[in-house]
Amino acid sequence: MSAPQVIVHASAPLLARSVAARLVTGLVDAQAARGHASVVLTGGGVGIDVLRQLRDNPARDAVDWRHVDIWWGDERFVPAADPERNERQAREALLDAVPVDSKRVHAFPASDGVAGGDPDAAAEWYAAELAAAAQPEDHGPVPRFDILLLGLGAEGHTASIFPGSPAAYEQRPVVAVRNCPKPPPTRLTLTFPALGAANQVWMVAAGQDKATAVALALGGAGWVQVPAAGAQGRARTLWLLDRAAASKLPPSVLRLPQS
């Protein structure tokens, strides 16, 4: 697992544009190496804004979108047409504007979808999708994601792993979580073993309300109390922040030139 590297940008809009540009390069590099790429998307305001900025990035079509596998780190367990769905928001922000291969867009089941309204069955269904995509050289029943995007809650959640949640202890790659503090209450989430299959994990956070969680997660807090602390990539872990979200970090953590 890789130690976190922190990069700070002057504002939330600049952060979103920078992460979008970084995503273009990351996907192009992965495709140059292997002919295809895989990315795990996140919900939340910052995560969806990154997708909008990627849609509007003039270099976006340097990515061969037909050969990108798209997964989600978590999903709200709501009907497919519900505007709260991360998949729906991602389609509106980016996916409907680029020529993705529909067979390579791996959305979680909706509450009115294949799992018949059972969130545990939906989690098992998605775990089977992941296992089917895993290659012999991958680590366990999850494919090696090239880039995995995550957002951060003010109290330290990431994906839909909330502080103190049993999901933080899970060894299964995907679980249903109920009574989540952030609505909607029932969600599906990758767990740490699945998140850790990613080559690169990018934690993207903006806003003063995230500053305490950022400082705790990077300051050595435990994964159960501050789940974001457990987000680590195999080769690289990036914390991509705006100045407000980084405002409680000690100077020693800010090792890179900051824009």
Site residues for ligand 6PG per CB under 6 A? 42-47, 74, 76, 86, 151-153, 157-159, 182
Least CB distance to ligand 6PG at residue 189 (A): 8
Cα gap 54→11, rounded to integer Å: 17
Query: Closest CB to ligand 6PG among 46 and 244?
Result: 46
Provide the minimum distance between the beta carbon of 49 and ligand 6PG in the complex, in angstroms, as a whole number. Answer: 8
Which residue, 146 or 155, is less far from ligand 6PG as judged by CB?
Answer: 155
- Determine contact, residues 195/159, Cβ cutoff 8 Å: yes
Question: Closest CB to ligand 6PG belongs to which residue?
Answer: 151
Peptide bond into 184 cis (omega under 30): yes
Least distance from ligand 6PG to the Cβ atom of residue 160, Å? 6
Q: Which is nearer to ligand 6PG, 99 or 166 (CB)?
A: 166
The C-alpha atoms of residue 224 and residue 162 are separated, in whole angstroms, by 8
Strands 187-190 and 74-76, by their bridges, are: antiparallel
Q: How far is the CB of 165 from ligand 6PG (least distance, A)?
A: 12
In angstroms, give the least distance from the CB of 175 to ligand 6PG: 14
Which residue, 158 or 200, is less far from ligand 6PG as judged by CB?
158
Identify which of residues 16 and 99 has a Cβ nearer to ligand 6PG in the complex: 16
Q: Please report the DSSP string for 137-192 in residue order.
A: TSSSSS---SEEEE---TTS-BTTB-TT-GGGG--SSEEEE-S-SSSSS-EEEE-H
